[in-house]
A and B are shown apart, each in its own frame.
Chain A
Amino acid sequence: MKVTIDGQEIHVEPGTTILQAARMIGGESVPPAMCYYSKLQGSGGKCRCCLVEVTKGSDANPTPMPKLVASCVTGVMDGMEVNSKNSARVEEARKSVTEFLLINHPLDCPICDQAGECDLQNLSFQHGKSETRFIEEKRTFEPEDIGPNIQLHMNRCILCQRCVLAADQLTDGRVHGVISRGDHAQISTCLSKAIDNEFSGNVIDVCPVGALTDKTFRFKSRVWFNKPYNAHRNCDKCCGKTTVWMFGDEIQRVTARKDEFHEVEEFICNTCRFEKKDVSDWVIEGPRRFEKFSVINRNKYALHPPKVEIRTEKHILEGREQDQKRISMVEVPEKTNGNSNS
């Protein structure tokens, strides 16, 4: 089947979705996806970030689709023409979805462990605005303890429901799910039960934001101070192939290996993830490749960001000088206009 995305043609198997076809092409046409996860069945269609415009339905029926469609759940047709990056409508829709996702998000990236590898950060970096139109109080939830290994921050959740699907498809017996509805829908175990299962840790990897984070890594380091290495060990429960995040000689965190779309290659077990934090547990294969434009790379190798000039810098410095004088001793001679008489 032939499909054209932003003018780039590709031949794909029947049953492929538009998003998958776009990922095969790669580059800037790939729609962002917050809820779709190719390793989880039935994911997608919820976050509406991946909306695209179908300008030609197929060769057989060339009428364009009136609404924007979610590319992650729409199958391609032969001769379909899709506009992703090229369409102003799509750009507008993505901007608005980003705004909607952010209005109730706490924006606590400075203290969030996910910062630096967060899909929502990437999305807002591309499609977000720097100012907000939301002046209401943000929606918040009561904190809930879901066990010794996984930290749930419901306020950060964007309800992609990936963790629910992961628990359904990887573990036997899911104990958490979505309760309530509307903007008060939340991921919860309802009875404050601990999520305790050998593969439950994978919900951390599938979470696109910082709602589910690793408790054993909590506040230890920013992800860009860690160096990721591919490592493996003989594990009787899982494949044992992981990425270890090191700081010096110390393994601070173990995650599954993630590809360029931040999807894990293979799921790993909790023993590997939470308990094996010693270098002797692992066979280190070598440093992991990371994206050129990732935050890990920032300030280090390829990029020399232009110096940011703050417009008020001069005035701030002046003010600081005057403050210093006010605080400091009287004997400091005053060289400025001499207004302050401290």
Chain B
Amino acid sequence: MGRKILLDKINIPGIKTYEVYRQNGGYASVEKALKQMTPDEVTEEVKTSGLRGRGGAGFPTGLKWSFIDKKSGRPRHLVCNADESEPGTFKDRYLMEYIPHLLIEGMITSSYALGANLSYIYIRGEYMWVFKILERAIKEAYAAGWLGKNILGTGYDLDLHVHCGAGAYICGEETALIESLEGKRGNPRIKPPFPAVNGLWQNPTVVNNVESIATVPWIVLNSGEEYAKIGIGRSTGTKLISASGHIKNPGVYEIELGLSVDEFMNSDEYLGGMLNDRPLKALVPGGSSVPILPANLIFKTANGEDRLMTYESLSDGGFATGSMLGSGGFIVYNDTTCIVRNTWNFSRFYHHESCGQCTPCREGTGWLEKILHRIENGHGREEDIELLWSIQSKIEGNTICPLGDAASWPVAAAIRHFREEFEYHVRFPEKVKNRDHFVHEPFEKVRHLVGKTIV
């Protein structure tokens, strides 16, 4: 049984409300931080904890906090990024929906550490009901004196607002989020300057994921050293994984980093194995942006070591044989999945969500989608596979924000590991047109098409 930090109290009835949350030890970290610690001590604790940003990039949170420009004397802001739009990721929603006060507590403690007096939670527009839950929770916190002027008589002021986005994936990118929060078109800014220097309203700003902020109360209460003991190496602590796809028990799980992928997928405590016991074909371990892994690379790395749920182990072997932990959107595919269709679906998403600011992403994502759509519908040409590879390599790294990379990685990985399937689509268009994929044929007959070894 893994240790629970975020979801420890999730099953207490009525934990959504302030009273129950408070009775169960809620807001203790605020008391401790504001009364016994200086802001720098809180930052130090988070630094020692080794907590890494849970939004996908995995940048150390404490380090990010220490970059904020405190010397200039301008007002500082903390913005919580709740614009969780990555296909396959739904952990933040779960957290905010069922235990909203944990996020608010984290926001207060973190804002205190940064010296921010005005903080925001930017939530995506599709989470309207969660927006309302958060608004109610903030109202309760104001009423109980945890927000507003002179919190706990310590002289620290904090105003917290929830802001609702209008439904754009790109607003999960921190600078686009800031633009959107300022009321402008959600286009990513050109960096530098980084938000830590010139962010929201040109003031120093830190943007953190919901999960990172929700972890802070535990770190403040139990010390960063205690947190660093959980996990392996530089991947410390616990992580929420939102599992979906062809598995027995989909849902949100809190795991200790360092758990093996095998155990996570097959033990009854977690995912409980494959749905209907069909063979496993592929895995996307961290949301749609990360490279897909074929079956032979899921449980073992290319070196034959066990694949673990850590930042390092999942990215072992680079993009050639590895992937990324990303935001924890764990999507499992069995042998009935058409990888081409799946890749097309991801591409369609990025085409739809590209902001249209810089050329490679604006034109390239549309092009990728059109080609994949053609291949999927039986109009593919032999040279299209090379063309896809060439386009994705031209988008990657040449864009303003990481959306371009995110759009090209899944395509690259799908071609790298499942080239045979693309070729099948191109060479047997009449079968593909009737949606008669080899996935509907007995698997044994077409095993050679999938290539490599299937576990």
Interface positions of A (Cβ within 8 A of B): 44-49, 51, 67-68, 70, 73, 93, 96-97, 99-101, 103-104, 133-134, 136, 139, 158-159, 161, 177-178, 180-185
Contacts and interface: CB of A to CB of B under 8 A. Distances in A.
Contacts of B351: 182-183
Given A48-B400, A133-B390, 12 more contacts: A45-B190, A48-B358, A73-B190, A100-B360, A100-B363, A101-B359, A103-B363, A103-B367, A178-B356, A181-B354, A185-B355, A185-B356
Given A45-B190, A136-B367, A139-B366, A182 B359 contact: no
Nearest to A139: B366
B49 interface: no
B356 A100 contact: no
B363 A101 contact: yes
A133 B385 CA distance: 12
B455 interface: no
B353 to A, nearest CB: 7
B248 interface: no
B209 to A, nearest CB: 23
A338 to B, nearest CB: 44
Ordered nearest first, which 5 A-B pairs have the shortest CB separation? A185-B356, A96-B394, A100-B363, A183-B366, A182-B354
Nearest to A102: B363
Contacts of A103: 363, 367
A145 B441 CA distance: 55
Interface in B364-406: 364-367, 370-371, 374, 387, 390, 394, 397-400
A100 B356 CA distance: 12
User: For chain B, what secondary structure do more than half of its interface residues adopt (helix, strand, loop), or is it mixed?
Assistant: helix
Contacts, number: 91
B363 A104 contact: yes
B356 A96 contact: no
Chain B contact-residue range equals 20 to 34
User: For chain A, what secondary structure do more than half of its interface residues adopt (helix, strand, loop), or is it mixed?
Assistant: loop
B398 A180 contact: no
B363 A183 contact: yes
Given A46-B400, A67-B397, A96-B394, A183 B362 contact: yes
Contacts of B356: 159, 178, 180-185
Most buried by B among A45, A134, A177, A181: A181
A136 to B, nearest CB: 4
A99 B393 CA distance: 13
Contact of A45 (B170, B366, B400): B400
B350 to A, nearest CB: 9
Contacts of B150: none
B185 interface: yes
